[in-house]
Amino acid sequence: MPVPIVSQVFTEGLDSVPFLYPVLKALPWLALLYVVKRFFSGASNTSERNMHGKVVMVTGGTSGVGQAVTQELAQRGAQIVLLTQHALSDPFIVEYIDDLRTETGNQLVTAEQVDLASLHSIRTFATKWIDNAPPRRLDVVILCASTLTPRGSEIKSTAGEGVEVNWMVNYLANFHLLSILSPALRAQPPDRDVRILFGTCNSYMAGDLSHITSNSPPQPTKKPSKRAPNSKPASPGTFSPSNAHATSKLALTTFALAFQKHLSSYKRPDNFPPNSKVLLVDPGMCRTPGTRRYLTFGSLVGLLLYLLFYPIWWMVLKSPTAGAQSFLFAAMEERFTRSEGGVLIKECDERGLGRVEECTDEECQRLLWGYSEQMVQEAEKRGAAFRAKGKKEKEERKEEVVAEEEVREYKEKVGKKEGGKKEGSRRSRKVG
């Protein structure tokens, strides 16, 4: 016990207590590690809000920061609607929801299958959501889903619709989803505090939207190569694994501010002021699957190095729970009820937005909005043609299988197999 040990030190000296010197030497280092860990863990949310009865829609809520946000809000009694790419009968999502309900004691946790890599899937869900009278309740929309192509990898596009994956999941899916849900958000009662939280990160500072603002189409790079020291930088509007993620986040930031203007410009029939707020949230660098994929370059060698240096990552990177604090602050802080929205939240506090002149420029926002609408239309046409082709091929294969089955049944009926007489027939028995 501490008291006898202290008494022994005073009566018999330090040497009488075994291993006391090593412990005293280690204490300053342990204290330093604790301070460093606390520093990199960031701020904690101290705001509280009654979340019982509030409907919260979450993307990316099955892993990383999104999972931590979902669990925290479910514990506070919110009704959670998870948008997941998994089929609702998938054992993973069934077990995940059961565990979440059990851990939080909240049975109001449901899921909807929405593949953010498919505009058709998003439209199917969103149109079904808004096709309701009166409009369904929706208090908070949290957009946590994100993807990242590792450096050195080739650019990938979504199947059928042909949209670059980073651009699709990080930006265009959110644009498409909110564009359709916009009437449901604006139709919420005037006493309801509606918030839309966009997950972003500092990478948007390196984004490039010149291929949109200059009306020149981007040129995808098929095989990224290392630039020579004296070579010129990549031309604006060129998609590559190194800037695709940053460009998608810059587009998301610009759209978020434009969407706030879109919501605020709506004149309600009851003449009450708009009650929907857009908030940008930067959770910081966290130990999530996306960060791990970025640090490991998507390779086994990189994963091995990541595991070897894991103590460093554990020290300097936030846990998903620590990263969720800014989202919780944005969802529950009281002062945002009276805010006009369009602010950036980082470390549970309002921060200045980088590249603010570009992100708030109305002409840039208009061009991005029009470019996105046109891209959605063209991608949905390609997706419809792809699905029609797949359906036709499936029907043709089905017809071929049916025809083969009919031929097989006919051969069995007449006693033939592969053109010969069936063994054991009447004629063969007679000859025998």
Residues catalogued as catalytic: 232
- DSSP bridge pairs for 143: 59, 198
Q: Would you call the peptide bond into 134 cis, given omega within 30 degrees of 0 as the criterion?
A: yes
Task: Tell me the C-alpha distance between 405 and 230, whole Å.
Answer: 67
Task: Tell me the C-alpha distance between 250 and 200, whole Å.
Answer: 9
Distances in whole angstroms, Cα of residue 135 to Cα of each of 127, 181, 186, 275, 340: 12, 10, 10, 15, 23
Task: Tell me the C-alpha distance between 107 and 74, whole Å.
Answer: 9
82 Cα distance to chain centroid: 11
Q: CA neighbours within 13 Å on the CB side: how many for 70?
A: 29
Coil/strand/helix, residue 84: strand
Dihedral sign for Cα 237, 238, 241, 242, please: negative
Q: Both tokens of residue 427?
A: 């004629």
Q: Strands, DSSP E only, in 200-342?
A: 276-282
Distances in whole angstroms, Cα of residue 353 to Cα of each of 31, 51, 349: 35, 29, 12
Total number of residues shown for the chain: 432
